[in-house]
Amino acid sequence: MIVTQAIHPTHYYDQATFELEREEVFEKNWIFVGFKDQVAKNHDFITLKVGNTPVVVQNFNGQVSALLNICSHRRAQLQTQTQGNRPLVCPYHCWSYKSDGALAGVPQNRTDFGLDEAAKKALSLKEFTLESCGELLFVRVAKAGPSLENYLGPYYPILSRISAEFTDPVQQGHYQWNTNWKIACETVLEVYHVAGVHPESFAKFAKAECDIEFFNGHTTGNTPLQDTPKKWWAGARKHLKLEQSSEYTEYNHFFIYPNMAIGLTNGSLMSLQTYDPLTSTQSQLNFQLRMIKRLDGSATSDAVKAVIKANFTEFNHTILEEDRLVAESCQANMPAVNTPGILGQCEDRIRHFHDAWRSDIKPQLSSGE
Ligand code: FES
Ligand SMILES: [Fe+2]
């Protein structure tokens, strides 16, 4: 037999595992934040929750910092949207902060608080390590750890290059699934399920063959496209004067441990997803679609984007709904079994995902895994 054991079913719903993951997996690894162009202007910001830690990544006059998104006064959330453009001022009593997290302004300080410079400094927001790989921003909550370059290994030059090619944002959105975040990730890590789950959608788009590469928990799955989507994209590129990524021309899929995936279609369209844990049995899937840049460097018109969006949105939605149904059925059944599932060779990307997860979690678990 060439099978390996999956993670034990309890780890897909157990609250203690979930708490452990927030610290050992999410707070200690590099987590994807967004593209640099999402925080390019003064006051632009992105918020995300990394493990137990709410983080705001904010542009202060060109300086981009990752700070704790909790006010030092009475703990209101500083930025409440997932992204936007607004100075870092608390919405409750208007305390404001600088790029290093230091307190900038306290209304009525002289009469009501009497905070001197030292006291203000002590109330600084915690700052986190922010690094970029090409156009992508990643944050690490834990103080110590490898550089982003070491963490990504061979994926550093790959992400650096492709992030600079797919510069044109088309669409963003999110879905909520009633599954543990790991089950959500697992749905994109094999094409073995395509015949069963996507006979009328993904099966017509790509072949169910997959060539796999890996580095730690990060993996690549290269799947040949069917002829129809290839022809469609060749026509679209000619008509729209689009470039094509030189290296990746099939359906090339990258998973960056712990929770980020990038799918490239015919070197022309990028679909980037993150899988955020909400509770031990709920996750949020965030997606962004980006097109390859145009030959003349100009932005694709809104009309053209609308066509791509319309074409892709329904396709994307259909596939995700098919995946959601089957993933939620696996999730619902986890408490009814107490032996791990098995993984075949065609599911090797999941094995690498599980191995990385085990090495993050294992020293902390008293039994089981
Ligand atoms: S809670 Fe932020 S200023 Fe009061
Ligand atoms: Fe799927």
Please tell me the predicted confidence (pLDDT) of residue 126.
98
Q: Does residue 10 lie in a domain region?
A: no
Contact 135, 37 (CB under 8 A): yes
CATH number of the CATH domain containing 106 = 2.102.10.10
Tell me which of 125, 144, 163 is where a domain ends.
144
Q: Does residue 15 lie in a domain region?
A: no
Q: 279: helix, coil or strand?
A: strand
Asked whether residue 96 falls in the same domain as residue 174, the answer is no
Name the residue at shortest CA distance from atom 4 of ligand 1: 93
How many helices (H) does the chain have, and how many strands (E)? 10, 18
**Of 18, 47, 23, 21, residue with least CA distance to 141:** 23
Cα distance between residue 285 and residue 276, in whole Å: 6
Q: Does residue 18 lie in a domain region?
A: no
Contacts (Cβ under 8 Å, ≥6 apart) of 271: 262, 263, 265, 287, 288, 289, 316
Contact 27, 142 (CB under 8 A): yes
Instruction: Tell me the two tokens of residue 220.
Output: 């690549």
Distance 75 CA to ligand 1 centre (A): 6
Ligand 1 atom with least separation from CA of 75:
1
Q: How confident is the model at residue 338 (pLDDT cuts 50, 70, 90)?
A: very high
Summarize pLDDT for 316-328 with one digit per residue, the tens.
899 999 999 999 9
Asked whether residue 314 falls in the same domain as residue 285, the answer is yes
Residue 48: pLDDT above 70? yes
Mutating to test ligand 1, I would choose from 90, 106, 108 the residue with most ligand atoms within 8 A of its C-beta, which is 90
Q: Which residue has the higher pLDDT, 116 or 312?
A: 116
Distance 259 CA to ligand 2 centre (A): 16
Q: Does residue 60 lie in a domain region?
A: yes
Please tell me the predicted confidence (pLDDT) of residue 366.
56
Ligand 1 atom with least separation from CA of 74:
1
Mutating to test ligand 1, I would choose from 69, 74, 106 the residue with most ligand atoms within 8 A of its C-beta, which is 74
Residue 308: pLDDT above 90? no
Please tell me the predicted confidence (pLDDT) of residue 293.
87
Computed over every residue of the chain, the mean pLDDT equals 95
Tell me which of 116, 144, 172 is where a domain ends.
144
Q: Which residues surround ligand 1 with Cβ inside 6 Å?
A: 71, 73-74, 76, 90, 92-93, 95
Please tell me the predicted confidence (pLDDT) of residue 246.
84
Q: Does residue 24 lie in a domain region?
A: no
Asked whether residue 214 falls in the same domain as residue 322, the answer is yes
Asked whether residue 89 falls in the same domain as residue 63, the answer is yes
Q: Which of 31-45, 83-97, 143-157, 291-305 has the lowest mean pLDDT?
A: 291-305
Distance 323 CA to ligand 2 centre (A): 5
Protein residues near ligand 2, an ion, with CB under 5 A:
323
Distance 114 CA to ligand 1 centre (A): 16
Summarize pLDDT for 265-290 with one digit per residue, the tens.
999 999 999 999 999 999 999 999 99
Asked whether residue 90 falls in the same domain as residue 225, the answer is no
Mutating to test ligand 1, I would choose from 68, 77, 92, 112 the residue with most ligand atoms within 8 A of its C-beta, which is 92
Chain-centre distance for alpha carbon 176 = 14
Asked whether residue 275 falls in the same domain as residue 161, the answer is yes
Count of structural domains, the chain: 2
Summarize pLDDT for 214-229 with one digit per residue, the tens.
999 999 999 999 999 9
Asked whether residue 237 falls in the same domain as residue 130, the answer is no
CATH number of the CATH domain containing 206 = 3.90.380.10
Phi/psi of residue 262, nearest 5 degrees: -130, 125
Distance 88 CA to ligand 1 centre (A): 12
Asked whether residue 218 falls in the same domain as residue 351, the answer is yes
CA atoms within 13 A on the CB side of 268: 23
Cα distance between residue 173 and residue 50, in whole Å: 19
Summarize pLDDT for 128-169 with one digit per residue, the tens.
999 999 999 999 999 999 999 999 999 999 999 999 999 989
Name the residue at shortest CA distance from atom 3 of ligand 1: 93
Please tell me the predicted confidence (pLDDT) of residue 303.
82
Residue 367: pLDDT above 60? no
Residue 50: pLDDT above 70? yes
Q: Does residue 301 lie in a domain region?
A: yes
Q: Does residue 191 lie in a domain region?
A: yes
Tell me the residue range of the domain where 356 lies: 153-364
238 class by beta-carbon count within 10 Å (0-12 exposed, 13-18 middle, 19+ buried)? exposed
Name the residue at shortest CA distance from atom 1 of ligand 1: 74
User: Mean per-residue pLDDT for 240-256?
Assistant: 93
Summarize pLDDT for 166-220 with one digit per residue, the tens.
998 989 999 999 999 999 999 999 999 999 999 999 999 999 888 999 999 999 9
Q: How many other C-beta atoms are found inside a 10 Å radius of the C-beta of residue 186?
A: 26
Please tell me the predicted confidence (pLDDT) of residue 368.
52
Ligand nearest to the backbone CA of 123: 1
Asked whether residue 99 falls in the same domain as residue 190, the answer is no
Please tell me the predicted confidence (pLDDT) of residue 209.
86
Cα distance between residue 191 and residue 199, in whole Å: 12
Q: Does residue 210 lie in a domain region?
A: yes
Ligand 1 atom with least separation from CA of 94:
3
Asked whether residue 246 falls in the same domain as residue 166, the answer is yes
Distance 322 CA to ligand 2 centre (A): 7
Asked whether residue 127 falls in the same domain as residue 249, the answer is no
Please tell me the predicted confidence (pLDDT) of residue 178.
98
Ligand 1 atom with least separation from CA of 91:
2
Mutating to test ligand 1, I would choose from 56, 67, 70, 73 the residue with most ligand atoms within 8 A of its C-beta, which is 73
Asked whether residue 79 falls in the same domain as residue 157, the answer is no
Tell me which of 98, 126, 144 is where a domain ends.
144
Report the share of the chain in percent with pLDDT over 70. 99
Cα dihedral 303/307/313/314 (nearest 10): 140
Q: How confident is the model at residue 83 (pLDDT cuts 50, 70, 90)?
A: very high
